[in-house]
A and B are shown apart, each in its own frame.
Chain A
Amino acid sequence: MDDNWTLAARRNALIARATIIQEIRRFFIEGGYLEVETPLRIPAPAPEAHIDAIPAGNWFLQTSPELCMKRMLAAGYERLFQICHCWRAGERGSHHLSEFTMLEWYRANSDYLDIMVDCEGLIRTLVSGAGRGTSITFRGMTTDVGGEWERLTVEEAFDRYSETSMEEALALDRFDEIMVESIEPKLGMERPTFIHDYPASRGALARLKADDDSVAERFELYIGGLELANAFSELNDPIEQRRRFEQETAYREELRRQAYPLPEPFLGELASMPPSAGIALGVDRLAMVLLNAGRIDDVVAFTPDEL
């Protein structure tokens, strides 16, 4: 205790974190989801412009279990969840760890609206389980998860919180800066916010909206200004998916980022995937919100700096 007080002092947070993970498991098992484990080391991560995988031998550590879980959907598994570690090179900050814990779940014959309902159910269960009724206090703000959650399109969010419209932001290549500086800090304050319908160019694995192909059926969940999860109605058109992967790969090459081989088995089986939806939720960040922790460091036993 005397030698590593930082670690000793995290005892309560680590006990609470373990309880959260046990309750997540119970929620999905009771909902008829199958818990799966897929390999952490993979030959071909999904090529995405701004996500860098860490090489491991001649393969890579996964940045997400997404592709393997979708291959399971294509093989007829209908409801899946997984809690696993993911790695993303160069990501470290007060709410980023290069190695972090991800919860992903996928459901066949569903779309992103069904996943929103799952999110509401999961987080209400975790909050009431922790004996807090329906509210969370995080970063000095009390967020009520019991009522109706806010649903805001990305376009509406720009109109409400920024002087620049979404269209202008994209044209000026200022989308991410405005998101970080002006929009994110306003999301999920009194109640959680789903910000949805992203520009089509910002969802390499998402299905476009049937009645408006300028936007993708994608949402992000925010509580207390912190991004917790990213979800899609999943693209299941292999030709379009290949085209988008090639586009992202070309963009990565332009930025002189490492190119990955295309995930051919995934592309080959994608046509068999039923209309599905899925989500990736950061478990460490969820623990931060539920435990009112200021830094991701407070909810893990070890950070890379402590090894």
Chain B
Amino acid sequence: MSGGYLLLATILVPLAAAGLLVVTPQRFPNVVRAIALAAAATMFALSVWVFVAFQTGSGGYQLTLRWDWIQNVGILGAHGISVYLGVDGIAAPLVLLTGIVILAGTFVSLKIDRRNKDFFILLFVLVAGVFGTFTALDMFVFFFFYEVAVLPMYLLIGVWGSTRKEYGAMKLTMMLVGSSALIFIGIFAVFTEAGRGTFDLPTLWGIHYSPAFQKTFFPFFMIGCGVLAGLWPFHMWSPDGHMSAPTAVSMLHAGVLMKLGAFGIIRLGIQLLPEGAKFWMPALVVLATINAAYGAIAALSQRDFKLMTGYSSVSHMGYVLMGLATLNVVGINGAVLQMFSHGVMTALFFLCIGALYDQAHTREIPAFSGIAQKMPLWAGFFVLAGMASFGLPGLSGFVAEFNIFVGLFRTYPVLGGIAVFVAAITAAYVLRMFAIAFFGELNPRWASLKEISVAESIGAVMLCGAIFFMGLWPSPFVERIATAVTHLPGVTG
């Protein structure tokens, strides 16, 4: 089926755009912008197409494409490493998410002046890595793209970031790369234990590994991928990294890249080592609960918009991990829904914060007051994101969190109670921020603030659309996700 070329295109379009930008002279910044926008729009269109083309009735892996890449040489047997792409109901919404966020992020980044060519090259390499990871059905290809997605972060933050950018960039890069060492080791162990000479994931999923092996190596994937998902106590890179990253990078990173970690736990953890997952999930759920609670409480006391959102991301990723750890259909459904929901919502947060910071050059929450009067549209977007984050019915967060809570109450009732309580804290810090910064008397210092720009508004409208879409009509998402989740090994009804 030719549909596989669609997935290949999602990887090749950003790489080709990056290649094209390499040879575009820096003295034509507008040509750079045009190429970037065209490429991002193409990626968005492709991702929508992938989401729509996924047949909910038939389930399984669809739009598959398989090319042998390296085989029958050295350690590699037949189909040793193959470009094997395909999406299931879990990956399809995440591909859509990536398409939405990259287009919104590109709109926001149009205003970058300093070396915008290099910026877009790195941004597109990152996106190619994200698309590749979500669609890979080969363990080598999965890890290859996983690392590609992390690779450009240092330069993106270091060159175009703000506020302690070198510290944030280095901390983020070293923690993420360090954690991938664990995944590396886990992959070596699985390949050796399987002994088939292939990295083909469906083949590896079909093998039954000894329980001792599963229990030993599951933590390698759980922690290795968990660091990228912001798992407590390895979340420290996240608030600092997000604070210093430029807007579009924060959007992509919190919106999409952190989901790669959770996605990795599904693909390499639950699907590869189900018995190990069963054994370790109680530990994960405890860590994830701390994640959610700690992130929310830390967010309560932040004075910087971006730091607050960074901690809020840690908290929301805690929900995702809690949902995964339930190992029941409702909980994992909720986790995947939350990945999408948090992706668009946090991207919207960072977009709004970026729009404010570029004018005000500060992100201190207490420094602002009554700015909703000057920027009503901007405030509207921001409030919508906030509402979605504490799960207002009718918005995406409600659908996702509701499923997670139901799943949690089935397996871990006490922790389910804590999770609901954390949602209340979320409401507290979001509303507190609105109360301080948005409403009340206008501080005369901000009398000159201008409304959010057109390009940024387009990006924000897209993200709002996604939040409403999922909140009001969740069935396209739920149908897709459910077909995949019910077939995960070791998942109870």
A associates with B: no
Residues of A within 8 A of B (CB): none
